[in-house]
A = this chain, B = another copy of it.
Amino acid sequence: ACSTKEESAARTVGRYPVPNKKDMPYDIVELMEEVEMKTGFLPNVFKAMSHRPAEFRAFFAYYNAIMNKDTGRLSKADKELIIVATSAVNRCPYCVVAHGALHRIYSKQPALADQVIVNWKLADLSDRDLAMLEFALAVCRADNITEEHFQKLERHGFDREDAWDIGMISAFFAMSNRIAHYIDLRPNKEFYTMGRTP
């Protein structure tokens, strides 16, 4: 009965079948349960990627290496803001909605992600945050990145290591947005309302 219910849930995640928990490798089940405990529900990206265990491991190891590292000047809210702004360019429903929610929670600014989704240049952002997004969006568009890009970041307190961090998050989500498109990944309904009321 349980597996039937899980299969039915799987149908709403995207195009590819999601294995039953009992057929998944143990490390993947463990990670999923840890995330579900912490978040209160299991974000659909975990279900969808479990279709390919080796790629599941590679994807989340990469994600952790760049999102959960302690070094650098980017706050958790900064990182989520980069994801929201670049994923909006790629029109990715999952990444915009899920990371919009995470941004609201980390930044405690419930309207900012919505503003960035519509028009980042008109959002209520500091000059520092605008410079950060300008660099992230240049990477997102696969622009040539020149010394001028780095100098502009430096004028707002970001050194070259920070530039790498901004660029890597933008590049990683250039990948994630495209995976989400061919998987047809959609956000869990919980994300729409998370963090809207302080």
User: Which residues of A come within 8 Å of B, CB atoms?
Assistant: 15-16, 51-52, 54-55, 57-59, 61-62, 65-66, 69, 88, 90-93, 96-97, 110-111, 114-115, 117-119, 121-123, 139-140, 142-145, 149-150, 160, 163-164, 167-168, 170-172, 174-179, 181-184, 186, 189, 192-193, 196-197
- CB-CB under 8 A from A163, the residues of chain B are 182
19 example contacts (A-B, Cβ-Cβ < 8 A) are as follows: A57-B61, A58-B58, A58-B62, A62-B62, A91-B118, A91-B122, A92-B142, A93-B119, A96-B118, A97-B115, A97-B118, A110-B193, A117-B118, A122-B144, A122-B186, A167-B178, A167-B179, A171-B175, A171-B178
Task: Verify A164–B16 contact, CB threshold 8 A.
Answer: yes
- Residue in B58, B91, B175 whose beta carbon sits within 8 Å of that of A61 in the complex: B58
Residue of B nearest to A89 (CB): B142
**Nearest chain B CB to A14 CB, angstrom units:** 10
Copy total for this chain: 6
- CB-CB under 8 A from A140, the residues of chain B are 178
Residue of B nearest to A186 (CB): B122
Task: Verify A170–B164 contact, CB threshold 8 A.
Answer: no
